[in-house]
Structure 1
């Protein structure tokens, strides 16, 4: 396999694409698109987003230290792109996109009703990196569309028609998995030889009993 060498750059792809909502101290809402986000900790549950200091959302989030992650669906691809290329200083993106804003449970920022998953976060620290600052935040609660949950309470994100971002383009996520965590080392479930032998013996006995009953009927 022949490969080309590129200068140091982040070529990690694909990545999640999310809509981040925030509210400033004057109670004004804003939304923008983020592709640089990720899970960073389990206990406490934490995630990260990277934001340029010149973004309006940077100001809002730094004021309140709270924000909400909203996972868009395939149907919201155009809206997701729009919120990434337009500034809240120039246009009311929430109004333009017709988003239904819902009041947060644990944070001041609202969440987008049209998105099937919404994650309320509180910023724990901000790390200056260069072009972007890294916001590390604790997840306080999440809103999950009931239609993504089965009768056992399991969340099926694959039912949400979520999208991903790869090298400047949006892609739908498949609904069928190609593997499951741990499947590569899982032991195959096979019947032991003794169990198989007992099963065959039981089957023979059942057949023998049926034949005997038929003979009895004929005799009568």
Structure 2
């Protein structure tokens, strides 16, 4: 079997399907579902979202200069999709999807309480690119749901929340752990210990 050549396209999959909350008051709170998002830098912690200029949230984020990236889960799959196909011009998405706007620590924009992890972002730059503009932001705070923090290790166990991924127009829950960073060069003894530990969880 050979390779097929396709026309240029956005083929980096899977991606996180996140709900981005924005607005400075209850009157303009909104949620936009985004897959074009990712990490840019660790020090300072920076990330990005890419948004079409015609989306309702575009002007809200541009006006207030902040937003929150809320990670999603299997239980939030329906709300994640709905908030991506409906417009905040026509609906109050928090009310329609029974989602709870909670207080950010560093921003006026709300977090989504039902999300396992909310990343508070301060806008640094907007790069106009084409169909989407890239909003580059600095992470100013992260809120993690305590029920996913392992009491023994203190580690945040996002896997227990059954995180959602997006690929080619479809949503998937993430599957089985197959390794961790650096496992390819670990000593066999260490690998064995980790395997035993992970099987107990």
Q: Determine which structure has greater relative contact order: mean sequence separation of CA pairs < 8 Å that are 6+ residues apart, divided by chain length.
A: 2
1:113 corresponds to which residue? 113
Task: Count residues with an aligned counterpart.
Answer: 189
1:35 corresponds to which residue? 35
Structure 2, unmatched stretches of 5+, are 191-201
- Secondary structure (helix, strand or coil) at the match of 1:184 reads helix
Whole-angstrom distance in 2 between the partners of 1:64 and 1:128: 18
Q: How far apart are 1:188 and its partner, in Å?
A: 2.9
Whole-angstrom distance in 2 between the partners of 1:97 and 1:189: 48
1:95 corresponds to which residue? 95
Q: How far apart are 1:24 and its partner, in Å?
A: 4.5
Q: How far apart are 1:42 and its partner, in Å?
A: 0.3
Q: How far apart are 1:27 and its partner, in Å?
A: 5.0
Whole-angstrom distance in 2 between the partners of 1:88 and 1:170: 22
> Map of 1:62-77 to 2, 5 A cutoff?
62-77=62-77
Larger Rg: 1
Whole-angstrom distance in 1 between the partners of 2:79 and 2:170: 14
2:162 corresponds to which residue? 161
Q: How far apart are 1:10 and its partner, in Å?
A: 1.2
Structure 1 pair 24–147 and aligned structure 2 pair: CA distance change class (3 A): closer
Q: Which runs of 4+ in 1 moved over 6 A?
A: none
Whole-angstrom distance in 2 between the partners of 1:50 and 1:28: 20
2:172 corresponds to which residue? 171
Kept in 2: contact 1:25–1:64 (CA 8 A):
no
Whole-angstrom distance in 2 between the partners of 1:26 and 1:111: 12
CA offsets, 1:106-147, max 9 Å, x none? 011001111111110001111000111001100111111111
CA offsets, 1:25-48, max 9 Å, x none? 785200010000001100000111
TM-score (norm 2): 0.90
Q: How far apart are 1:187 and its partner, in Å?
A: 2.6
Whole-angstrom distance in 2 between the partners of 1:147 and 1:173: 19
1:10 corresponds to which residue? 10
Structure 1, unmatched stretches of 5+, are 191-220
